[in-house]
Amino acid sequence: MIAGVDEVGRGPLAGPVVAAAVILPDHHSIAGLNDSKKLTAKKRARFELEIMECARFSVAQCSEAEIDEINILQATMLAMTRAVEGLDAVPDHILVDGNRLPKWGYSAEAVIGGDALHPCISAASIIAKEFRDRLMIAAAEQYPQYGWERNKGYGTAEHLAALRQYGPTPLHRRSFAPVSQMELI
């Protein structure tokens, strides 16, 4: 069993970093899996349902507070570890998108651009992205002025303008500039 692992949300100013681990069945019939960033929202949603119907998967996150405490790289590694540990089976090998691996005892390799090369990593990319996007859309209901339903917490012009006008929320990463220079509301 090979698990693919990917994360989303390293760069935003708000919200958690989310990782997913996916073990696809040997003979899955999901054609066209790709890096979530290269897919339309409609295709991601369709793929997410297909993946969830046939695969073993786990989603995990590190909160904004954890990111601020241990830094975004370590939070990403921790979210990945939590995702793998959340699987209902121990994978024989793990393929992680990127150039670094968490410090763990699993047989694993980092694959640069792996979310476009390995279907199991593509599936993890899709699951993580859809999960995080839903979190940010829900958060936008509580904090509508930041446009998170559109920008998902990234530092867009709209988000930065709202930060200047309204200040940061508890969902903002206080260790990230420009948030670190503002008072929490």
pLDDT digits (tens, 9 = 90+) for 100-110: 999 999 999 99
Whole-prediction pTM: 0.94
Q: Please report which confidence band the pLDDT of residue 181 belongs to, taking 50, 70 and 90 as the band edges.
A: confident
The per-residue pLDDT for range 58-80, each reduced to its tens digit, is 999 999 999 999 999 999 999 99
Strand ranges of the sheet holding 108-111, from the earlier edge strand across to the other edge: 56-62, 17-23, 2-8, 93-97, 108-111
Q: What is the pLDDT of residue 185?
A: 47
Burial of 46 (0-12, 13-18, 19+ CB in 10 A): middle
Secondary structure letter of residue 92 according to DSSP = S
Pairwise pLDDT comparison (30 vs 121), residue with the higher score: 121
CATH number of this structure's domain 2-144: 3.30.420.10
Domain boundaries, the chain: 2-144
Helix (H) or strand (E) segment spanning residue 135: helix 119-142
Q: What is the pLDDT of residue 142?
A: 97
